[in-house]
Structure 1
């Protein structure tokens, strides 16, 4: 594996040219803030309950994307999409346990690209997915990556205190063959403990330290990737963040059924919630439990927000902000009871709509927003262009599916794509079908089909977000002319790969 990494680095270094058309210009730093399970229920996105002052002030510095979407609503593939600029359907990797180098051994990740152009790439927390049998990628970092816990508890009175729980085992690659025999951990925890008692507090502290250390190398630009884990389950956040919210004020979704006319296999119910206590193994969930989950999600989000604020404060204190590109990205959305669904793992709006904030000094204007559709894969080429580096499309061995969003950063009214694309796999009649989806400003079309089989074998879903933002009904049979138009667009994308190898 080391030989593969060295080969990729050498090939990439040979194809790269000067870092900028203006070699005397200072090379910008990059601060990439990745957040697990974060949907756009932030103050800056109009959520009146959310207490997210730090992400709100970050949005006020630059451009907010109102219609940004992940390429697959699950952690590991979405992070592959970010780091490679490649969609899951181009890689053929849709699961948590498969490493992206099984598909593209010589891939040059986003941070590798910058490393080979002279940047120092460091990562803390969760960037690529580690767990479920998967592992990090040593070639992507200038120094060893520093992970932290995704699942952890601090309550000594917990029934499972001192025991390895199911989700802890998954995310630490322990006893993966015995998950069902392990106890379920608590779904939430609200203790009077300091921020650093949980991972995000430690990640922020380490991020501050890395920024301070960067001042010792002023001649070397940094690419610092910080992966915050909340609001990922379990909702373990210090009590002061729970106290920010009145649980009675949360509005529960009124639509608690799958869309009328949708394929039965397209949705889900509890998902990973099943691995936590006291969540019942089957729906329905009581109103008390549903309100507790919403409360925990928002409390965890506010906890994460405070940690991001510490990093931004230090960036400002060190006077680094004027030459640092900042990106805040959520890896996918999260169902909070809409359609009776929870967590991610679907092709529906709430699982795929993500927050995306970009601050590019001298390029973005403060407090702007855009309805340009954007995908996770677009971040790679956008950062490359902002840094003045050669476009990656012909310089990397992996498929480059992203489009640079720099024209939109300069002018939010510009348009560089007319739809966003995402996908998710399911089983139908014992076969794997891939639900390839396109989202325009008004519609979403999902085509569920075995790759390579004729179009007439597909199950179709169509949703009109102008007339029916809650996705209450599948309109595919009612609007054949819209389906035909969107199928033409979808037909411009290659068939989904179903196994590693490109």
Structure 2
């Protein structure tokens, strides 16, 4: 600051006149910029933390739970590239999604604002939120601070709302591949149809399963199992031979002669960006779709997990017996899908789904490896922060559930790896509870830019806290953030998927997950409490135990305090 004022002091008279003119203009018109998630504005970059601008490589998978080497989700996990990254960085063992379903999770992650505070607790556009409509996304914030931002694959939901984010100063797009879940099964009319190899599921359809059976998410298998549909003259369906990419045929001859899958295309695009010369620091976001359904990947990944060797996740019969007070407030879709698989194919079909999920995770890991190899061989290897994570977890049959969007561990727990260039702490793990909300402020901190991105707009503060203390000392107890991650899910569901009750702090289901316990309060006031030290599978709800009365009261108080600023979008 002394140097700055010295420059003013030694200014000539004419320079003083210029300063006065600038002051008058600022006073008359205001010096604040107007920024939104679609607008670039010149912020004043902060230089209070780091003078060196790191590049950022941010990679996110969809629906990836803890079936990752080193996290304990499955002994069969095959994720060597995630493991390699963890060896170069820090793995957060107790990281959680703040809303374990795609759109609300990503809105919270990329805005840095809790879902209950933004009101985005559904598949809602940012512009529909009085808080997020003017909020600056992490991508725009870095762009406003001199970074060139690039993206590919699945990052935002409603990616069209953010098209201006991905336009450079020359008017050129900086976004690669669009979001795609393909290739799809296609009968010539719709992708919402069962793969012929799984057509037998239709014999087990009841009314409650109709939506699931018609969903593209229900089928799974290797790409080598190419679908074929003869024309259905009576129903006027033309039929189709082969895979479909959403607009045209996805060519498949064999494993080596086929079109590239969307995640492969995203990896290829990211590699090209890492091979280019960059004159400014960059933020490269890469969104891989797998292991999001439909779980179709090349056969070689299925071959890694022979069906006869598949181990199912820990399972307890009648696990929901102590959940009857609130089970109707858990999204029914996941229960219905698991029930359909169980009735139609029993344990064998369950194992086949588990095989498909493991194969899809291995496929995603391979794509990550390609990008990491490109970074390692680039000019940016020694100056790039790498973040790898997922938007939420996924149930693989635990609690008779096969989906996401619950307040249980399988749905919220995610991998989170942060690798710093030339880090002193490598290959370490952190057990403190953290969440996706902490990524935005962490990258601000590490890259030395402002942690108040909304100071020119709605003045909304970021809700997370920098994870730098854990990166510097993974065993530290000193952190300015909370002791528990805050997790939310939808309230009660009806057929159209909308909440019945809205507008109050208890109109959704909320959890607090700290280093030992998971506490949940449902929309109807019913509660759960699990002690992970003795019950890592969350099989025994101890919320009604008299011995837990004081602990329950403490959790209630903490939750009420953290929900004070909640809003609802109707």
TM score, norm. by length of structure 1: 0.85
**Corresponding residue of 1:423:** 488
Q: 8 Å contact 2:97–2:435 — kept in the other structure?
A: yes
1:45 and 2:71 correspond: yes
| 1:413 CA displacement | 1.4
Summarize the Cα distance change of 1:73–1:182 in structure 2 as closer, same or farther, 3 Å threshold.
closer
- Following superposition of structure 1 onto structure 2, how do residues 177-326 of structure 1 map, counting pairs within 5 Å? 184-185=215-216, 187-190=219-222, 191=224, 192-194=254-256, 197-213=260-276, 215=277, 217=278, 219-252=279-312, 253-262=314-323, 263-268=326-331, 270-271=333-334, 280=340, 286-326=346-386
- After superposition, what is the alpha-carbon deviation per residue over 1:3-62, rounded to whole angstroms, capped at 9, x for unaligned? xx9643799846533456554x3x211000010000121113244311111111011110
Structure 1 residue corresponding to 2:514, chosen from 396, 417, 440: 440
Q: 1:234 & 1:273 partners in 2: Cα distance?
A: 17
1:19–1:387: 8 Å Cα contact kept in structure 2?
A: no
Counterpart in 1 of 2:555?
486
For residue 454 of structure 1, what is the aligned residue in structure 2? none
| Structure 2: distance between partners of 1:90 and 1:230 | 29
Residue equivalent to 1:34: 60
For 1:305-335, what per-residue CA distance to the aligned partner results, in whole angstroms no more than 9, with x for missing partners? 1111111111111132210000001110000
- In 2: Cα distance, 1:464 partner to 1:182 partner: 36
Give me the CA root mean square deviation. Answer: 3.0
* 1:116–1:14 distance in 2 versus 1, CA, 3 Å: closer
Q: 5+ residue gaps in structure 1?
A: 169-178, 450-456
SS of residue in 2 equivalent to 1:357: strand
Q: Which stretch of structure 1 is more off in the superposition, 65-74 or 459-468?
A: 459-468
Alpha-carbon distance change, 461 to 182 in structure 1, aligned in 2, over 3 angstroms:
closer
Contact 1:81 1:88 in 2 (8 A): yes
* Residues in 1 aligned to 2:436 and 2:541: alpha-carbon distance in whole angstroms: 26
Could you tell me which residue of structure 2 aligns to residue 79 of structure 1? 106
8 A Cα contact 2:432 2:514, kept in partner? no
Matched, 1:146 2:176: yes
Aligned length: 464
- Cα shift readout 1:252-309 (whole Å, capped 9, x = no counterpart): 23225444322122435553985x9xx9388575111100110000001101111111
Out of 141, 151, 165, the residue aligned to residue 123 of structure 1 is 151
Unaligned runs of 5+ in 2: 1-32, 168-172, 195-209, 225-253, 495-499
Q: Look up the match of 2:5.
A: none
The answer to whether structure 1 residue 67 and structure 2 residue 94 are counterparts is yes
* Among candidates 466, 469, 483, match of residue 533 of structure 2: 466
| Contact 1:73/1:332 (<8 A) preserved | yes
Which shows bigger deviation, 324-333 or 484-493?
484-493
SS at match of 2:70: helix
Task: Return the offset for 1:477.
Answer: 1.1
Shift of 1:106: 1.1
Sort the Cα spacing of 1:260 and 1:284 in 2 relative to 1 into closer, same or farther, 3 A. farther
Q: In 2, Cα distance between the equivalents of 1:393 and 1:201?
A: 33
Q: How far apart, in 1, do the equivalents of 2:318 and 2:193 lie?
A: 27
**CA distance in structure 1 between the aligned counterparts of 2:525 and 2:212, rounded to whole angstroms:** 39
Cα deviation for residue 442 of structure 1 reads: 1.1
Provide the rounded CA distance (Å) in 2 between the counterparts of 1:68 and 1:181.
30
User: Is contact 2:335-2:400 (8 Å) kept?
Assistant: no
Structure 2 CA distance for partners of 1:180 and 1:22, relative to 1, 3 Å:
closer
